[in-house]
Amino acid sequence: MFEAFRGSVAQWECDMMGHMNVRHYFAKCDQAIRFTALKLGITPQKSRDEGIELVITDQHVRFLQEQHAGSGLGIRMGVLDFSDKQIRLYQEIYNTLSGDIATTFITTAEPRRVADDELVAWPEMAQAFAAANQTEIPNYAQPRSLDLAPGTDTMTMQTIEELGLYESSAGAISGANCDVAGRIRPAFLIGHIADGVVNMTQKFKTRGFIDDPERRIGGAVLEYRLIYRYRPRAGSLFTVRTGLAEVMEKTNRFATWMMDLETGKPILSAASVGLSFDLDTRKVVAPPPEARAEMAAMMTPGLFI
């Protein structure tokens, strides 16, 4: 594998849980993708002159170890598959001080023309680079609770309303969060989902668990599957709708759809597995049976991404 990023965790990148917020893992991953694009022949100059970019379409992510302010981070990556239409990459964010793996990404990306979002041919050097940097997915990065099956193309705002999915966040796409082509960066799509987690927690909380005055209970995501359906431009309005898909002993599975309010088109769909943990001991907290039963009553049957 090759090195594609070096940096650290800033204090401002950490959230109320005391660790680096999920959006910043994706932001650092995005920087590594851009470094990889350079190696594939999609240079910054080529992007500016010809309007060609390496566009992420699908990701599977596992969060293995939380990172705190001051942690040094690196990203190494390799190529899993390469074809004339797409590349599948393996990336892992690791702590440069301890060597521990923090997060793993399985990322699918395509060479696209910004103007019309059409696929284009790879630069000449791409195939040779991909062949020289082949790797495999290690056991600790394999999908655990989420599969990588193709997503559905049938979700509409009407279906979302019929399913009764909860609006956890909504707003407008800021130009400050977009790339040079004016389209939102993936990290900020995740950021808008993360912005709604507090609202989602309030919606799906259970009596006597989250509100226990004797304990400071927080939450964290263990695993994500994301399908990027299209990248809206600055000024686009969105809504994020979430439903509870499954309640397990220590974890819960959610499904989330981000929709364009003007066009009704899906922007992003995501499946996630999360848990509760004690903010003081940093240990996982399993909800008692009565809390799980309460949450099970809030599940949305037939929820999908």
pLDDT in tens, 8-49: 999 999 988 889 999 999 999 999 999 999 999 999 999 989
- In the chain, pLDDT over 90 holds for what percent of residues? 70
pLDDT in tens, 173-220: 999 999 878 889 999 999 999 998 888 877 776 655 666 667 777 778
| Phi, psi for residue 184 in degrees, rounded to 5 | -65, 140
DSSP 45-85: HHHHHH-EEEEEEEEEEEE-S---TT-EEEEEEEEEEE-SS
Does residue 237 surpass a pLDDT of 90?
Answer: yes
Whole-structure pTM value? 0.93
**Cβ contact 224:271 at 8 Å:** yes
Please give the mean pLDDT across all residues of the chain.
91
Give exposure, 253-276, as e/b (b: 16+ Cβ within 10 Å). bbbbbbbbeeeeebbbbbbbbbbb
Using the structure block, give the residue that is written with the tokens 């995740």.
Answer: 190
Q: Please report, for the chain, how many H helices and E strands are present, in that order.
A: 7, 11
Domains of the chain: 1-142 (3.10.129.10), 149-305 (3.10.129.10)
Of 168-177, 220-229, 294-303, the range with the lowest mean pLDDT is 294-303
Q: Measure the CA–CA gap between 270 and 254, rounded to whole angstroms.
A: 8
